[in-house]
Amino acid sequence: MNDLYRHIQSLLAADPAFGAGGRLLRNSVLEAARRLDARLLQLLLADSRARQYFFRPVQDITVFDVNRFTRFIASSRFLPGSLTAFKNKIGLTVNEELIAENNSVVLAFPYKDAVLPGGQTRENDRHNELFFHETLDAERIDRLFEPKALIRWTRLFRENDEKPQRLSYNDNFLIKGNNLITLHSLKAVYAGKIKLIYIDPPYNTGKDSFGYNDGFSHSTWLTFMKNRLEVARTLLRGDGVIFISIDINEQAYLKVLCDEIFGRANFVGEIIWETATDNNATQISVEHEYVLCYARNKTALPKWQRPSEKAQIIINRYRALKKTFGADTDKIEKELRKWINNVKKSNRHDLSGVSHYCYVDDKGVFYPGNSANTRPGGYDFDIIHPTTKKVCRKPANGYRWPETTFWRAAEKGDVLWGVDETTVPRIKKRIETATELLKGYYYEDNRKSTRALTGLMGKKVFENPKSVNLLKKIISFASDENDIILDFFAGSGSTAQAVLELNAESGGRRSFILCEQMDYIEDVTLARIRRVLGRESLVYMELAPGARKLVDKIAAATTLPRLRKLADEVLADPFLYYGAAHKEEEILSLLRGESDPENLRQMLLALLDQNMLYIPRDEMADGDWALTDEDKKLTDQFYRLQAHGTE
């Protein structure tokens, strides 16, 4: 058989339509087989061995066995250890050629044309995940991604819980279940409706919760991310954006992957987040993480700016001084300048970019803007001094603003005049108009976030939660006050807290949708959100488990006797993988002969139809599922939700 593999590979690779440089272009072959390409069929028919193996006579007709051929081509023997059309090597390829031979780049990696469901529920799970091949298992993938039934509906308030009676499109939602499957379920309601997505995925460092297929952890992680980012893009509005936290281990590959999914032209930028101090580095001290930002359509984005937080610090000080000194603007200005100088020396606050707002009049704090144009050719007009009635001195290059702008400012009392006409008049820039941009650098020691969460929860419950302050900054810049925020790696719930705090501070109505599959969702994520809900509420629900129940039993089993006992349950389960049907005795013999618990666990998991991890919505009426009428009613209500209202 191995000789046949080598023979067919050589046969196909020699044809320029199916090979390059002696290498087989397997995707091209599979695509040609699917469309019954005449060139491929002629090539195979002309070869006696290929004709014998892939064709069979039916009366006087020779029939091509396309299923047998595609299974043969997709076999791991072509590329050991993989069901994909990509080499077991991560790299950058172009039309299956090396990057060095071409300037156009496409990210390629093992399993790139596969779907990784990613079904772990505990951080210490380290089982190999099943890959669905996008070409060979298209029907099963479609079934995998159908909207799912939802159960355990609860509306939570800060002090009590209740069963939801009516759902709203703008409710806050927390959904437990596989996040890839959850995202596809959300498409039925929120496709094209999400303004901002923030995710903090597993970083694939070997220390985090990413425990998939260790043999290909790098490529597996990329497949894992690709599957989720592709569907996330469909959820974004035309002016929507996604922010992705990542560290140095995968940042470069993730950037190229996102270029492919969102389009390189839609890369908005990245934030360098300095999180810690590393004094133990042997070469370069890496003290930062990254937050990548991509848009659905960058040209649709407005300019991101907001009232300056630094300016607000000065405004607060001015208000305190005004309470003390009343209408004495000279005294207030003197004390304000003294305070600003002291703050700058002590580094108590960062006032960079706003410390020049140190002038005070009866309207408040300002600074006099420069009137002079930066180069010759500015506006030329006469300004009469209000006291001397003479023409004021003009800047050498002319004024930087037109005459109408000046007189509009003068009418509002926003011109700083000199004692006489010998001083160039200047327009006052009010501190309330100071804005800030979303900077590409942010500093906050991540231990601060850990301490804050520990203080909120009364004990340490989570390693390295994300900064609520950074998330608030991102969300306030990149979304408006009625937008929907999505986080499908909810973790400890930092995104929810950021949204709730922003709403409380500004009176906004942003809502969030969080997805989490780990078992800590109730003790950590849900408990944290409850503590910061304020006057808002949260709707909690779970994907209705199908094969998931048995998966959890297998994952929890630790001994051979327990796993062997589960073998009978697996073989009798309605979710048995269809390929194992009618082979129960043979399979049971293999299972009982396995002496390694972990190998037996993997064998049992492989026997389940992972396409049915959760119950499809369209099968809710099946009495075998034992879903309650309330769960069915709320599931239907959820999928009928419309923007700006209830279902």
Whole-structure pTM value: 0.76
DSSP for 559-601, written as a single string:
SHHHHHHHHHHHHTSTTB-GGGTT-HHHHHHHHHH---HHHHH
pLDDT of residue 207: 58
Higher pLDDT, 63 or 123: 63
Mean pLDDT of 565-579: 72
Confidence band for 30, pLDDT divided at 50, 70 and 90: confident
Regarding beta strands 161-162 and 150-156, do their DSSP bridges make them parallel or antiparallel, or are they unpaired? antiparallel
Task: Give percent helix, percent strand, percent coil of the chain, each to the nearest 5.
Answer: 40, 20, 40
> Alpha-carbon torsion 148, 149, 151, 157, what sign?
positive
pLDDT tens digits, 177-236: 989 999 999 999 999 999 999 999 987 765 555 444 444 467 778 888 898 999 999 999
**Domain 114-305+438-543 is found in CATH 3.30.70.141:** no
- CA separation (Å) from 407 to 120, 387, 394, 411, 485? 67, 16, 15, 6, 44
For the cut 90, the answer to whether the pLDDT of residue 519 exceeds it is no
Higher pLDDT, 339 or 645: 339
Q: Worst-scoring range by mean pLDDT, 192-206, 263-277, 583-597?
A: 583-597
Mean pLDDT of 352-360: 95
Q: Worst-scoring range by mean pLDDT, 140-144, 420-424, 441-445?
A: 140-144
pLDDT of residue 381: 96
The DSSP output letter for 646 is B
Reference 470, options 307, 301, 240, 289; nearest CA is 289
Higher pLDDT, 34 or 95: 34
- CA separation (Å) from 271 to 226, 404, 405? 21, 40, 37
For the cut 60, the answer to whether the pLDDT of residue 543 exceeds it is yes
pLDDT tens digits, 113-157: 667 666 656 555 555 555 565 554 565 667 788 999 999 999 999
For the cut 70, the answer to whether the pLDDT of residue 645 exceeds it is no
pLDDT of residue 138: 60
Length of the chain in terms of residues written: 647
Q: Worst-scoring range by mean pLDDT, 153-167, 187-201, 444-458, 612-626?
A: 612-626
pLDDT of residue 33: 86
Highest mean pLDDT among 45-54, 142-151, 536-545: 536-545
Contact 570, 576 (CB under 8 A): yes
Break the chain into its structural domains and give their ranges: 2-78, 114-305+438-543, 309-436, 548-608
> Alpha-carbon torsion 332, 333, 338, 343, what sign?
positive
Cα separation of 632 and 141, whole Å? 24
pLDDT of residue 101: 38
Higher pLDDT, 246 or 80: 246
Tokens found for residue 384: 């009469």
pLDDT tens digits, 9-29: 889 989 988 887 777 777 778
pLDDT of residue 132: 61
pLDDT of residue 99: 38
Q: Worst-scoring range by mean pLDDT, 54-58, 422-426, 528-532, 634-638?
A: 54-58
Residues whose CB falls within 8 Å of the CB of residue 565, separated by 6 or more in sequence, listed in order: none
Higher pLDDT, 413 or 93: 413
> Alpha-carbon torsion 188, 164, 178, 621, what sign?
negative
Confidence band for 501, pLDDT divided at 50, 70 and 90: very high
pLDDT of residue 358: 96
The type of residue at 623 is G
Tell me what the pLDDT averaged over the chain comes to: 85
Confidence band for 518, pLDDT divided at 50, 70 and 90: confident
CB atoms within 10 A of CB 595: 8
pLDDT of residue 145: 87
Reference 189, options 550, 591, 539, 603; nearest CA is 539
Mean pLDDT of 382-398: 96
Contact 424, 392 (CB under 8 A): yes
pLDDT tens digits, 78-123: 544 333 444 333 344 444 443 333 444 444 455 566 676 666 565 5
Higher pLDDT, 272 or 141: 272
